């Protein structure tokens, strides 16, 4: 699926700090592609306007492919939680539609939610009970769960999140990472086709973060689609196959992370005293977005090989003091898309 711009606003973000136009008019973005049956989540113009007028989610067109680990990335307040709440039927959209596993929400909540595991606000566990006993209580409260298979399913869920050995430990003795893994186990007590996690590593230390990240990958490898929101670029980069980027309620890009990287505008930077001549040569080669600085000229690399550019500059009488190919980091791309910084430390 290609990177998509906000198809409603037609908004094309400015260049990122790396100088690369990520999503440009020359590289138009298409809307979503693919048959809906290949998509675990589809939204069409999904909008939430809260009382008081604030538009938390604005005409959102999301397409989450089945089998993906889909990172829903955006700064705090960009509308991620509100979107997730609409997907789960917890909040009614003001307008637009959403389908989860092919079922319209919120109308289909009764039928589809048994196939969806969700971690929106961490479940309240009893500190004085063991992890296993907590899951038992949790499972007993789920009317769709068969009590006859509870022990086997709880054992399996604990095993899946790597807590079998700590199953009998009291919850209060669990580390933060263990607590979050137990919460994920609670979401996996019955087989799920889709797992929705809202900021699952929030507040975790680096070790806990690594644990949750590894777990998400394992769950996805077992065939469950995972939709995970995050304001942490590094997290999304490390565990997701696809990403959607939100800014102030608007979708600014979505698609496979590999495509997003490919859409990064690679630039070439030439250090030279002969800037006017260099501009002429680069323009002659048809390079886009030529910019002149003090003793340097930059341009989009397009499909031209750097060695050919270098040769053309030298042949054109340009004294080349330095030549560098600059590829903006994914962070540059995302900051350019959202207009805000991300916490990249994870």
Ligand X SMILES: Nc1ncnc2c1ncn2[C@@H]1O[C@H](COP(=O)(O)OP(=O)(O)OP(=O)(O)O)[C@@H](O)[C@H]1O
Which residues in this chain contact ligand X in the complex, by CB under 6 A?
A: 50, 54, 56, 74, 76-82, 231
Quote the DSSP letter at residue 28.
P
Nearer CB in complex with ligand X: 50/126: 50
User: In angstroms, what is the minimal distance from the CB of 50 to ligand X?
Assistant: 3
Measured between alpha carbons, how far is 81 from 56 in angstroms, rounded to an integer? 9
User: In angstroms, what is the minimal distance from the CB of 62 to ligand X?
Assistant: 14
Measured between alpha carbons, how far is 295 from 273 in angstroms, rounded to an integer? 5
Measured between alpha carbons, how far is 10 from 44 in angstroms, rounded to an integer? 15
Nearer CB in complex with ligand X: 94/238: 94
User: In angstroms, what is the minimal distance from the CB of 81 to ligand X?
Assistant: 3
User: In angstroms, what is the minimal distance from the CB of 71 to ligand X?
Assistant: 13
Nearer CB in complex with ligand X: 78/209: 78
- State the chain's maximal CA–CA distance in angstroms: 83
Nearer CB in complex with ligand X: 80/181: 80
User: In angstroms, what is the minimal distance from the CB of 227 to ligand X?
Assistant: 13
- End-to-end, the C-alpha distance of the chain in Å comes to 27
Nearer CB in complex with ligand X: 60/268: 60
Nearer CB in complex with ligand X: 81/272: 81
Structure tokens at 156: 């399996």
User: In angstroms, what is the minimal distance from the CB of 108 to ligand X?
Assistant: 22
Q: How far is CA 88 from CA 64, 80, 91, 128, 305, in A?
A: 15, 12, 8, 30, 49
**Residue 168: is it exposed, middle or buried by C-beta count within 10 angstroms (0-12/13-18/19+)?**
exposed
Task: Give the alpha-carbon dihedral of 219, 220, 222, 223, to 10 degrees.
Answer: 130
User: In angstroms, what is the minimal distance from the CB of 77 to ligand X?
Assistant: 4
Nearer CB in complex with ligand X: 10/53: 53
Nearer CB in complex with ligand X: 81/254: 81
User: In angstroms, what is the minimal distance from the CB of 43 to ligand X?
Assistant: 14
Identify whether the C-beta of residue 203 lies closer than 8 Å to the C-beta of residue 109: no
Nearer CB in complex with ligand X: 250/281: 250
User: In angstroms, what is the minimal distance from the CB of 282 to ligand X?
Assistant: 41
Measured between alpha carbons, how far is 188 from 202 in angstroms, rounded to an integer? 20
DSSP alpha helix (H) spans, 113-232 = 131-140, 150-160, 176-187, 206-221
Q: How far is CA 94 from CA 8, 46, 81, 91, 229, in A?
A: 17, 8, 15, 9, 22
Task: Give the alpha-carbon dihedral of 161, 167, 173, 177, to 10 degrees.
Answer: 0
């Amino acid at each position: 699926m290609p990177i998509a711009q906000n198809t409603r606003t037609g908004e094309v973000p400015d260049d990122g700090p790396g100088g690369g136009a990520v999503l440009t008019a020359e590289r138009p973005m298409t809307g979503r592609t693919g048959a809906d049956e290949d998509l675990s989540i589809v939204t069409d113009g999904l909008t939430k306007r809260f009382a008081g007028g604030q538009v938390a989610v604005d005409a959102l067109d999301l397409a989450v492919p089945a089998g993906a680990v889909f990172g829903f990335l955006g700064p705090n307040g960009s509308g991620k939680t509100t979107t997730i709440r609409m997907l789960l039927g917890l909040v009614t959209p003001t307008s637009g539609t959403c389908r989860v596993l092919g079922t319209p929400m919120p109308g289909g909540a009764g039928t589809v939610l048994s196939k969806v595991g969700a971690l929106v606000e961490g479940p309240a566990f009893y500190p004085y009970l063991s992890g296993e006993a907590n899951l038992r209580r949790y499972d007993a409260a789920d009317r769709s769960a068969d009590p006859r298979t509870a022990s086997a399913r709880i054992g399996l869920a604990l095993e899946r999140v790597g807590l079998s050995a700590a199953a009998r430990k009291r919850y209060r003795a669990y580390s933060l990472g263990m607590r979050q893994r137990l919460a994920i186990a609670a979401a996996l007590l019955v087989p799920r086709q889709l797992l929705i996690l809202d900021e699952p590593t929030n507040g975790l230390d680096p070790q806990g973060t690594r644990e949750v990240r590894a777990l998400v990958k394992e769950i996805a490898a077992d065939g469950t689609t995972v939709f995970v929101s995050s304001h942490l670029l590094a997290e999304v980069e490390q565990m997701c196959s696809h990403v959607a980027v939100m800014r102030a309620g608007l979708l600014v890009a979505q698609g496979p992370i590999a495509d997003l990287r490919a859409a990064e505008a690679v630039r070439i930077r030439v250090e030279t005293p002969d800037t006017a001549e260099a501009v002429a040569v680069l323009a002659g080669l048809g390079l886009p977005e030529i910019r002149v600085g003090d003793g340097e000229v930059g341009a989009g690399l397009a499909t031209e090989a750097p060695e050919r550019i270098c040769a053309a500059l030298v042949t054109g009488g340009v004294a080349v003091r330095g030549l560098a190919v600059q590829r903006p980091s994914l962070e540059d791309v995302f900051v350019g898309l959202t207009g805000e910084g991300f916490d990249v430390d994870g």
